A and B are shown apart, each in its own frame.
Chain A
Amino acid sequence: MQEVSTEKKEFVPNIVAFCCNWCSYAGADLAGSSRLSYPANVKIIRVPCSCRVNPTFVLKAFQQGADGVILCGCHPGDCHYVTGNYYTRRRMALLFSFLNYMGIEKERTRVEWVSAAEGARFSAVMNDFVKTVTALGENKRLTDLRVKEGE
């Protein structure tokens, strides 16, 4: 008889991070050049400004199997495009609250402001976010909101 391994494979969440080009992407670069590590399962998508992030991008990520989505932008008031992140802040506050209303764990979504000088903060934020999402486990809810036949 074949022995079944009782040891479960450790869950590694898949994280998508949208970073604005001017602050947070540069902050991530600084984290890199300062060799401040964070888990490899965080993958960064560069956008010009956090306000470029359409809620559909966030939803798409979840639907495609991301376990957590984080948006990073310049600190409010420091936006390279003057006001972009103010819109991001409202959009995402409402979107995340709405997703939670639909039963999606709030901890899977996050907005953080990271400046180009905050490499250490970028790394700390990512470590913390990965820890939080790992504790939540796999995202099953947002891949499909419907009951499939036979379920």
Chain B
Amino acid sequence: MKDVEMKMLERAKQLLESGEVARVIGWKKGEFFYDPTPASFETVDELKDFVYDWFCGANLSKYLIQMSKKEGKTAVFLKPCDTYSFNQLVKEHRIKRENVYVIAVECLAKLNIEAIKEKTDGIVKSVDVEDKDVKVVTTNGEYTLYKPEVVLSKCAVCNKTHQAKDEEIILHERPERDVNRFEEVEKLEAMTEDERFAFWKGQLSKCIRCNACRNVCPACSCVKCVFDNPHSGIAAKANDSEFEEQLFHVIRAFHVAGRCTDCGECSRVCPQHIPLHLLNRKFIKDIDGLYGEFQAGETDEGKTPLTSYTEGDIEPKDVFNGEAK
């Protein structure tokens, strides 16, 4: 990972020094070593805080909505999964493609610090990765964890490849994997209605309406969110026991249906650990099953499944568990 970081830093310096770009979007050191945060670097000097490590899970594409409006070009480091969101935003005319220089960077999964903390005792001091081994040093000792068990949930089923790039920094080939990202959705589908309701009621009851999911979601980038739109009939002035509050996640999931790239940021940032991605993934699974496979953000043009149709589409009454009766 260090060598990838070095290359990225070197490239960022070149781009800024030559004036090819006005700024570089990447990650900088956070308060702890495991919480790097997205940052914009405008000078070579600022790059001293630049970092790219196993904890750079954040999707940078959403920042480009604002950045691409600024004067001068913006260079951005995008992981494979981020490029889908990027394409989707270009498709929706939210990012000015011509103002962005995309550097596709290597990603061999990102780690979930919460999972690491759970599996170790003491305060985490350092984390190192060697192939499938994650070596953790804490105030209480040293641990070797199995990497697939401590990666972010989005990385556990990731099979994504770079879909948009002007250049790439890739040092290692990523092994092909056979993963079924719908496994958890299928498990839920196999439950009874009562069990499903109990599951979701339990999960959604944890929601504190902090809006972290909405704020991080690249598909939730509206100039003004529908929940804040007084004409939509769903906005509430106060988050009391009203409509918006109660059905927020249902409405949000429908709003991003057909546009959600399954980047998994919603679940990553949820402070209550609600598996929000399982809501969006249900829509993705249904769309794939009913209307043919579709991956939002695979290209930066074309219609989404909800803005297209065929004359022989399935009738709503014939759909059961996302499949034809």
Contact = CB atoms under 8 A, between A and B. Distances in A.
Given A98-B254, A104-B197, A145-B204, A90 B319 contact: no
Interface in B185-201: 185, 188-189, 193-201
B186 to A, nearest CB: 11
Contacts of B76: none
A105 B193 contact: yes
Interface in A76-107: 76-77, 83, 86-87, 89-106
A150 to B, nearest CB: 12
Contacts, number: 127
Interface residues of A, number: 39
Contacts of A9: none
Interface in B119-157: none
Interface in B273-305: 279, 282-283, 286-287, 290-291, 305
Interface stretch (A12-20, A27-35, A53-61, A114-122): A53-61
Contacts of B320: 97, 100, 106
Contacts of B257: 94
A86 to B, nearest CB: 4
Given A87-B306, A98-B286, A145 B246 contact: yes
A59 B315 contact: no
A110 B316 contact: yes
A60 B243 contact: yes
A111 B317 contact: yes
B321 interface: yes
Q: Interface size class for chain B?
A: 35 or more
B233 A83 contact: no
B311 A56 contact: no
B205 interface: yes
Contact of A146 (B205, B313, B322): B205
A134 interface: no
Most chain B CB within a 10 A radius of its CB, from A56, A63, A86, A109: A56
Interface string A26-68: 0000000000000000000000000000011001100110000
Given A63-B246, A87-B306, A93-B316, A55 B251 contact: yes
A62 to B, nearest CB: 8
A144 to B, nearest CB: 5
Contacts of B271: none
A95 B3 CA distance: 47
Given A76-B311, A90-B305, A90-B306, A97 B204 contact: no
A60 B287 CA distance: 24
Nearest to A91: B306
A63 B247 CA distance: 8
A147 interface: yes
B250 interface: yes
B200 A102 contact: yes
B32 interface: no
Nearest to A111: B316
A125 to B, nearest CB: 11
A90 to B, nearest CB: 6
B114 to A, nearest CB: 23
A94 B233 contact: no
Nearest to A88: B316
B282 A59 contact: no
Interface string B161-185: 0000000000000000000000001
Contact of B309 (A64, A87, A92, A103): A87
B319 A96 contact: yes
Given A98-B279, A146-B204, 20 more contacts: A63-B243, A77-B311, A90-B313, A92-B316, A96-B316, A98-B254, A99-B250, A102-B196, A102-B250, A103-B193, A103-B196, A103-B200, A106-B320, A110-B316, A111-B317, A141-B197, A144-B241, A145-B249, A146-B246, A147-B205
Interface of A: 55-56, 59-60, 63-64, 76-77, 83, 86-87, 89-106, 109-111, 141-147
Q: Name the 3 nearest CB pairs between A and B, nearest first.
A: A103-B197, A86-B309, A103-B196
10 contacts: A56-B234, A63-B246, A90-B313, A93-B290, A95-B254, A97-B319, A101-B189, A103-B198, A145-B205, A145-B249
